[in-house]
Amino acid sequence: MELILYALILTLFAGLSTTFGSIIAIFIIKPNPNLICIIMGFSAGVMILVSFVELLQEGINSTTQLLGFAFFMIGMIIMLLVDVLISHTYEFETSLDEKNTFSENHKMRNNSHQIELQKASLLVTLGIMIHNFPEGMATFVGTLKSVELGIILAIAIAVHNIPEGIAVSVPIYSLTGSRKKAFLWSFLSGISEFIGALISGFFLFPFINEFVLGAMLSVVGGFMVYISLDELLPVSHSYGKEHLSIIGIMLGMTVMGLSLVIV
pLDDT, tens digit, 9 for 90 and up, residues 63-119: 999 999 999 999 899 888 877 776 544 343 333 344 444 344 444 455 566 666 676
Distances (CA, A) of 1 to 135, 147, 189, 206, 224: 21, 13, 27, 16, 35
Helices (H), the chain: 2-16, 18-27, 33-49, 56-62, 65-86, 101-145, 147-176, 179-199, 210-227, 233-239, 242-262
- Label residue 97 exposed, middle or buried (CB < 10 Å: 0-12, 13-18, 19+): exposed
The whole model's pTM is what?
Answer: 0.64
Structural domain boundaries in the chain: 2-89+121-262
Residue 193 has pLDDT above 90, yes or no: no
- Give the Cβ contact number of residue 37 at 10 Å: 23
Counting residues of the chain whose pLDDT is more than 90, the rounded percentage is 11
**SS3 label, residue 91:** coil
Residue 163 has pLDDT above 70, yes or no: yes
Q: 4, 202 in Cβ contact below 8 A?
A: no
